[in-house]
Amino acid sequence: MLANFSERNKATKAKASRNIRKGKLREPLNTDFSSNHVVQRAVGFEVEFCNWYVAEALSQEAYDKYDFFYKNSRRLGKGRKILKNNRFMLEGEDVDDSYSCMEIVSEPFSEDEEGFAEMMTFFQELKLFVEVLRQQYADDKVHDRPRSHLACLEKAGLGQLLMPMAVTMQYSFSDNITIRPQSTMGVRMSKLFHFLRDIGVGYDDESRDEQARKHAGRVFTGQSNAKAYSYSTKTIGKASMVSQLALSRYLKDTDGLEDLSDDFRGFFNLVVYYLIAGSRAIQQYPKAFTKVMARTDFAKMFQLLPEEEFTWFTKEGCQEWKNLIAILTDEEVFGVERKDWKDFEEVTGIEGFDSRIRHFSLENPFFSKGTYANRLMYDTPTYVMSQLTSGEWLKSIPEGRDLLTKKHYPNKGRAWRLFSLGSMHEHTDHDREGDLPIFEMRGFGSSADVVELADNLKKWYVYIHELNQGHDYKFGEDHPLLAAES
């Protein structure tokens, strides 16, 4: 358990924490925008205040008179820093091309007692942040002021205001602040399969013990009912089933390979999840298709596979990788598993699943239905992100290039749209046992209750640590750290 590290690990973690604070271990997490993210063996959070728009008054007179609508103000784009704190940075976050909201980006909290204590202080500051905003809104409402000065945050001791004329307007004109969190963390390759299993939808034949793990999935989507899984967790669940059916068939038809590691099963599960999610709904923008976004690219993850499996799937021009991928395109393979598909359809409640996701066409664009932005703004098929097929993406992975990234996307003029996807490329988290690919969880459910939100994120932190330690721990289970005061 987290509270029972060996003395050697404690010393190592403490040293790493000191080096992090001194800036010795920092790496840019998002190479596309200026941000204070870092790479380390840690868990970090982003908390977006969806319905609070931010802007900057263009003159002191406009600021003093609260006269900063449109012509007298400008939006604060993604990454524009508003307020600095020892544990977080308040930044602008894009809502669309015209408006920005606020987002708190935390420093990553190391997976040790010191990091946990820092995280708890951050949650206290987050609660105070919301309280100050609500009080400021109430005061401004009394004085009929449509916007608030963010100087109130500095006055409350929450940090140094970097933009003296920063202002905010609550879009809904209500004190109900909608908060949407995200988390960035490393997941050990050998635990990726278990991680996706934990947040995906359950099966009828699972024990109650296994179903209890799915509470992680409920928090992931903000659902409180075990049957109320969102589209996201259903898609992850589908990917788990599709990938394991494909691997079972591959092992049955392949000589010289008796089994595959959890490392490979988790990696392939993620690949299939990307294929299913990318081919389904029209996306607002490319990275919106996935709720479990790989920041370390797929080419690097492939290189992190056990050496014998890496050699097996790259020999003879990656022929075995091609053989495995070909199974996904074989309608007959999934057609013969009719009973399994029917059972899974009953569990998910999605009609026609067996006919809609029975096989893949590698000739189709990865984003086969395009994006909302493309359709609405340009209304032309040529502007849909169609320059990369699923087959081309899969072929590029063992070759050492992830084409589903800004760096390697075939059409350089549109590659910028892939911001964040695999943007860390070869960067990983590290510990004594090796490298951990980094992921961003983009699908935590929104909340207006900051206390409940902090409690769930605390459970998430403990869950990620226990998962990577290899402990048989269920999300939200009793744990010494969860007894700590929020």
CA 192/CA 209 separation, integer angstroms = 19
Top pLDDT among 118 and 384 is at 118
Q: How confident is the model at residue 216 (pLDDT cuts 50, 70, 90)?
A: low
- Per DSSP, the three-state class of 372 is helix
More confident residue, 407 or 358: 407
Dihedral sign for Cα 20, 23, 25, 27, please.
positive
* Contacts of residue 87, Cβ cutoff 8 Å, sequence gap at least 6: 106, 107, 118, 121, 122, 125
Backbone φ and ψ for 90, nearest 5 degrees, come out as -90, 125
- As a whole number of angstroms, the distance between CA 226 and CA 16 comes to 39
Q: What is the pLDDT of residue 220?
A: 52
Cα separations in angstroms, 20 against 27, 31, 368: 10, 19, 42
Which residue has 């793990």 as its token pair? Answer: 213
Over 90: is that where the pLDDT of 259 sits? yes
The region that residue 227 occupies, defined by phi over 0 for left and psi between -120 and 50 for alpha, beta otherwise, is alpha
| Distance spanning both ends of the chain, measured CA to CA | 20
Q: What is the pLDDT of residue 486?
A: 46
Cβ neighbours for 7, distance < 8 A, ≥ 6 positions apart: none
Q: Would you say residue 319 has pLDDT above 90? A: yes
Q: How many whole angstroms separate alpha carbon 11 and alpha carbon 13?
A: 5
Of residues 417 and 405, more confidence is placed in 405
Task: Indicate whether 398 pLDDT > 90.
Answer: yes
Q: Would you say 348 and 234 are in contact if contact means Cβ atoms under 8 Å apart? A: yes
**What does the pLDDT read at residue 265?**
95
For 154-234, list the strands marked E by DSSP. Answer: 160-161, 166-170, 179-186
Which pLDDT belongs to residue 228?
38
**For residues 294 and 422, is the Cβ–Cβ distance under 8 A?**
yes
pLDDT at 280 over 50: yes
Residue pLDDT, tens place only, 418-459: 878 888 888 888 877 889 999 998 867 667 788 888 888 888
Question: What pLDDT does 50 receive?
Answer: 81
Look at residue 401 in the predicted model and tell me its pLDDT.
Answer: 93
What is the rounded CA–CA span in Å between residue 255 and residue 268?
Answer: 20
Distance CA 39, CA 47 (A): 18
The percentage of the chain sitting over the pLDDT mark of 70, rounded to a whole number, equals: 70
Residue 155: exposed, middle, or buried by beta-carbon count in 10 A (0-12, 13-18, 19+)? exposed
Residue 129 contacts residue 137 (beta carbons within 8 Å): no
What's the chain's average pLDDT? 75
Q: What's the pLDDT score for residue 67?
A: 74
pLDDT value, residue 34: 27
Q: pLDDT band for position 251 (50/70/90)?
A: very high
Handedness of CA 445, 447, 44, 98 (dihedral sign): positive
Per-residue pLDDT at 176: 67
Q: What pLDDT is attached to residue 179?
A: 84
With a cut of 50, say whether residue 337 has pLDDT above it. no
Q: Which residue has the higher pLDDT, 258 or 205?
A: 258
Gap between the Cα atoms of 95 and 102, Å rounded: 9
What pLDDT is recorded for position 353? 38
- Is 171's pLDDT higher than 50? yes
Q: What is the mean pLDDT of residues 217-246?
A: 63
- Report d(CA 467, CA 450) in Å as an integer: 25
- Give the pLDDT confidence of 45-87 residue by residue, as tens digits: 999 888 888 888 888 888 888 776 667 888 888 889 999 999 9
